Amino acid sequence: MIIEQLLVSAMDVFCYLVVCQDTKESVLIDPAGDFDHIIQTIRQHNASVKYIINTHGHFDHTSGNSKMTELTGAELLIHEGDLDQLTGITNRLMARFNKGSASPKPMRTLRGGDTIAFGKSQLEVIHTPGHTPGSICLYTPGHIFTGDTLFTEGMGRTDLPGGSYKQIMESIYRILSLPDDTIIWPGHHYGRFPKSTVAEQKRYYM
């Protein structure tokens, strides 16, 4: 599995291109902006994008959905708990601020425990509410994409509609129950480092 971490948009969002090394089939996680950079990276790997996955419904992660589904033909996926957030008026307006556009509706919605298969690779959907009701992490042994649930030095906000400090802490402890060497790939570059590990994050929370 190939993982490309791409820093996109003025809001320091991390977009991820995850490629099955054998088949070149791939997924894009939170392609929020800088579309030329994303497309160039896809072409460098000769990859075909099967799915675009949003870790949650906030505009800073979803404002590139329309452009990237158009450019790649990929299916859009998001947790069912954030469907209203994705298509709401606030997101439609704020997407323009992020130099994007309103998101189309997803092809299908996700639930915790779902598996997203691409090529010979797959990602498990872990429902991690707290930042938003439908926040998810995407896990494959050795790696977890944590969206805005957990950064390298901190966590997502819980003071926005649908947020819950109690829930996000429960979600973080679930992440920290994974093997210590699991690499954490966050949704923003808000810490000193672009990635972390479960073992390192336990120092802050346990």
- The answer to whether residues 74 and 51 touch, using CB atoms and an 8 Å cutoff, is yes
Is 20 a residue whose pLDDT tops 80? Answer: yes
Model confidence pLDDT, tens digit, residues 38-77? 999 999 999 999 999 999 999 899 989 999 999 999 999 9
Helix (H, G, I), strand (E, B) or coil at 13: strand
Strand pairing category for 115-118 and 121-127: antiparallel
Residue extents of the structural domains in the chain: 2-205
Domain 2-205 grouped into CATH 3.20.20.150: no
Torsion sign, CA atoms 186, 190, 196, 202:
negative
Nearest partner of 123 among 136, 107, 104, judged by Cα: 136
Model confidence pLDDT, tens digit, residues 119-160? 999 999 999 999 999 999 999 999 999 999 999 989 999 999
Give percent of the chain above pLDDT 90: 78
The model's confidence at residue 91, banded by pLDDT at 50, 70 and 90, is low
